[in-house]
Structure 1
Amino acid sequence: MVWKRQRVVAIPVCNEEEHIIPCLLALAAQKDALDRVVLWINNTTDDTRNRALSLTGRLPFELETVTVSYDPAQASAGLARRDAMAHTAKTAAPDAILFTTDADSEVAPDWTENILAAFTQYPVEAVFGRVLLMPEEYRKIPPHLHEDEQAERAYGALLEQIGLMLRPEAHDPWPRHQEHSGASIAVTHEAWRRVGGIPHISSGEDREFYKALRRHGIPVRHDLEVRVYVSARLQGRAQGGMAETLARRLIAQDEYIDDAFEPVSRRLLRLRREHAYWNADQYAFPMQPYPELPLVHIRRQDLPRHHERAQRVLNVLRQLKSRFSKELQSGTTGQSDIPLHALTDQTASLPHGRFG
């Protein structure tokens, strides 16, 4: 029945006259057509709206444009996405699937198809996609930044495999990615309502939305086949976003790796506390808070040491799995035995974390 649900897309837009037509044409090229696309045009002074409307009659979906003006002191990418999705959801069917992407992005031709396939194949209520650099843009980034990104992703892959060994997730098996970018999110209307929509923060709303889904026990799929492509521009719209981070890293690399990649000891503690939270008697402890933990940053120069430590932990877990296969194998088969390169292939990949 997923294939019959209404499909609506919310796109926050701010001065995107250069990118809005390619963005809309990519959405129009989907094999599995969308029903409606809403452009939330906020604090815009260029010709974005007229360029979008020039496609009227050429698009296979209803195009709605909403023009708003925020107080400059309050305006932010996070607020625009929150309001764009809230407006779109108001007139969407109760069982609709809500999508969001960015105005400077171009979704892959099979974006909708792969999202719907993920909803069909796995018992999930949200699907996060990968954000990749357009091939011609990928070559503009200095090789050392790509190498740093690959090292972070390889370490993140170890953390993910450790997590799946200890707490298998049938709805989000390996291989899976580690991104939570607003450039590619799909969520059921019901799940969106349950968490209160997109968090009301100025930036990083996509990551916080994922955390809200997790706190509410809503299953999410990180599908490698769901992809969206972006440019490597250095002047962006979102504070702390991809463009700002790229511009900074071209001058000098960040001292710390992305916040999403914590020490393996902290990941183990997080898993243990989450396990206790989900197995607690919620009738006896109805107000028990979700076990959030303070961030622990890893210096880039220390990453090799953390990588080696995580690899040792994973090796031990694999040995235990082999030794006690009757207890563990049924729950982890197929989730942690995929070659590491299945996730760390960096072809035209977007630097992770703060870029999303």
Structure 2
Amino acid sequence: MAHARTEDTASASQGKEALFWKKPRIVAIPVCNEEDHIVACLLALAAQTSLPDRVVLWINNTTDATCHRVLSVAHRLPFELETVTACYPSAIASAGQARRDAMDHASRTASPDAILLTTDADSEVASDWIDSILAAFIQYPVEAVFGRVLLLPEEYRKIPLHLHEDEQSERAYGALLEQIGLLLSPEPHDPWPRHLEHSGASIAVTHAAWRRVGGIPDVPSGEDRAFARALRQNGIAVRHAPQVQVYVSARLQGRARGGMAETLARRLIAQDEYIDDAFEPVSRRLLRIRRELAYWQSQSSFLDIPYPDFPVVCIRRKELPQHHERALRVLKRLRQMNRRSPENFPIETAGQYDIPPPVLTGPEPSVFHGRPG
């Protein structure tokens, strides 16, 4: 009997794998004045071990030679390429609006079983980007997959060492918060190791989940994080897959207000007083976890309790070491209390995933939180 159950489980797993490999894959990319990057972006998609079926370029408010560059390489691409041009009034022109419209356009002609993907026009996805995304969908019961954003090795050298060190410190603290959360509220669909990012440079979502949340939220910037929040608030399972990777430039003039380029340019002049607001005090994280657990329990009991919403509480950079130590103490205490937790559950930083694929050379790449600008 046990042998029969094992065979049934294996058969179901193989069936799910075959199903996902057959799903249409559509990549939507917002593009604005990307003559220096768009060819590399498209060639990276063309080099995928599993190709996209269609790529939609939403070319908006563009005055440079982007369209010419696209035409120069279009005949070499092994997938259907659709280009759409748009010009937004200055009052509403934004990276968030462009991504929302690009993905909405791609979704209109997509089949109900399609997977919608998005990246940035200055990005170069890893050659196994789509393969790794599909592997995450197959391995875990999720409807969305967020990938990691790394700097191209040659771009890494452009950034002062102290900024890389500050970033490492932020991510080390963030990793502790994630592990605390997983001990208090386990997520089998998104276990450790997982990364900490919600970047528009690497999002994949099922068409059904996309429709359920109404697409990308209508915000001028930070639409990637807003989309992640919308997924969570609607109970849609997400995998933060460290194997899904995309490489970006370290440019200082970006397309998104509040994006990576703007953040980097500002920090080159003077480091921010506060760390990324995604990394809240551990006391706030504990409260958030309790409130979210209460919310989901109320949903199963048909109680009308609103989804918990908290004002942002930021940490001063100079106080980060104290917050790190506090989080470390909480994590160790939770381990002592949770006998079910395996002894080898590691206290790790996110830096363990900062090793680029073997084909790349150069120093360890870095990550800047938020969507590349």
- TM-score normalised to structure 2 length: 0.90
Matching of residues 220-299 of structure 1 within 5 Å: 220-281=238-299, 284-285=302-303, 287-299=304-316
- 1:146 & 1:243 partners in 2: Cα distance? 15
TM-fit CA distance, 1:58: 1.3
What amino acid maps onto 1:340 in structure 2? E
Contact 1:153-1:344 at 8 Å conserved across structures: no
TM-fit CA distance, 1:50: 2.0
What amino acid maps onto 1:313 in structure 2? V
- 1:121 & 1:234 partners in 2: Cα distance? 38
Deviation per CA, 1:171-198, whole angstroms, max 9, x where unpaired? 0000100000000000000000000000
- 1:140 & 1:56 partners in 2: Cα distance? 31
- 1:354 & 1:154 partners in 2: Cα distance? 19
- 1:350 & 1:339 partners in 2: Cα distance? 20
- 1:47 & 1:26 partners in 2: Cα distance? 20
In structure 2, what is the equivalent of residue 312 of structure 1? 329
Of 283, 290, 303, the match for 2:320: 303
In structure 2, what is the equivalent of residue 349 of structure 1? 366
Of 163, 173, 176, the match for 1:158: 176
What amino acid maps onto 2:323 in structure 1? H
Deviation per CA, 1:201-232, whole angstroms, max 9, x where unpaired? 00000000000000000000000010000010
Deviation per CA, 1:59-95, whole angstroms, max 9, x where unpaired? 1110000001100111000000000000000001111
Matching of residues 22-171 of structure 1 within 5 Å: 22-171=40-189
TM-fit CA distance, 1:290: 0.7
The runs of 5 or more residues in structure 2 that have no matched partner are: 1-18, 355-363
- 1:303 & 1:315 partners in 2: Cα distance? 18
TM-fit CA distance, 1:49: 1.4
TM-fit CA distance, 1:164: 0.4
Could you say if the C-alpha distance between residues 85 and 101 of structure 1 is closer, same or farther in structure 2, counting changes exceeding 3 Å? Answer: same
TM-fit CA distance, 1:56: 2.6
- 1:43 & 1:354 partners in 2: Cα distance? 19
Contact 2:242-2:353 at 8 Å conserved across structures: no
In structure 1, the residue corresponding to 2:244 is in which secondary structure? strand
In structure 2, the residue corresponding to 1:227 is in which secondary structure? strand
In structure 2, the residue corresponding to 1:129 is in which secondary structure? strand
- 2:299 & 2:97 partners in 1: Cα distance? 36
In structure 1, what is the equivalent of residue 348 of structure 2? 340
- 2:269 & 2:121 partners in 1: Cα distance? 27
How big is the alpha-carbon RMSD for the aligned residues of Structure 1 and Structure 2? 1.5
Deviation per CA, 1:273-307, whole angstroms, max 9, x where unpaired? 0000001145642x431101111110000000000
Contact 2:117-2:204 at 8 Å conserved across structures: yes
In structure 1, the residue corresponding to 2:318 is in which secondary structure? helix
Asked if 1:17 corresponds to 2:25, the answer is no
- 2:84 & 2:318 partners in 1: Cα distance? 47
- 1:339 & 1:318 partners in 2: Cα distance? 11
- 1:343 & 1:169 partners in 2: Cα distance? 22
- 1:102 & 1:354 partners in 2: Cα distance? 9
Could you say if the C-alpha distance between residues 157 and 318 of structure 1 is closer, same or farther in structure 2, counting changes exceeding 3 Å? Answer: same
- 1:94 & 1:60 partners in 2: Cα distance? 23
- 1:33 & 1:281 partners in 2: Cα distance? 40
- 1:193 & 1:122 partners in 2: Cα distance? 21
- 1:299 & 1:344 partners in 2: Cα distance? 25
Could you say if the C-alpha distance between residues 281 and 28 of structure 1 is closer, same or farther in structure 2, counting changes exceeding 3 Å? Answer: closer
Identity between Structure 1 and Structure 2 (%): 71
Number of residue pairs matched by the alignment = 346
What amino acid maps onto 1:10 in structure 2? A
Deviation per CA, 1:25-84, whole angstroms, max 9, x where unpaired? 000000111100000000001111121122233111100000011001110000000000
Contact 1:129-1:223 at 8 Å conserved across structures: yes
Could you say if the C-alpha distance between residues 196 and 185 of structure 1 is closer, same or farther in structure 2, counting changes exceeding 3 Å? Answer: same
In structure 1, the residue corresponding to 2:50 is in which secondary structure? coil
Contact 1:245-1:354 at 8 Å conserved across structures: no
Contact 1:176-1:343 at 8 Å conserved across structures: no
In structure 2, the residue corresponding to 1:64 is in which secondary structure? strand
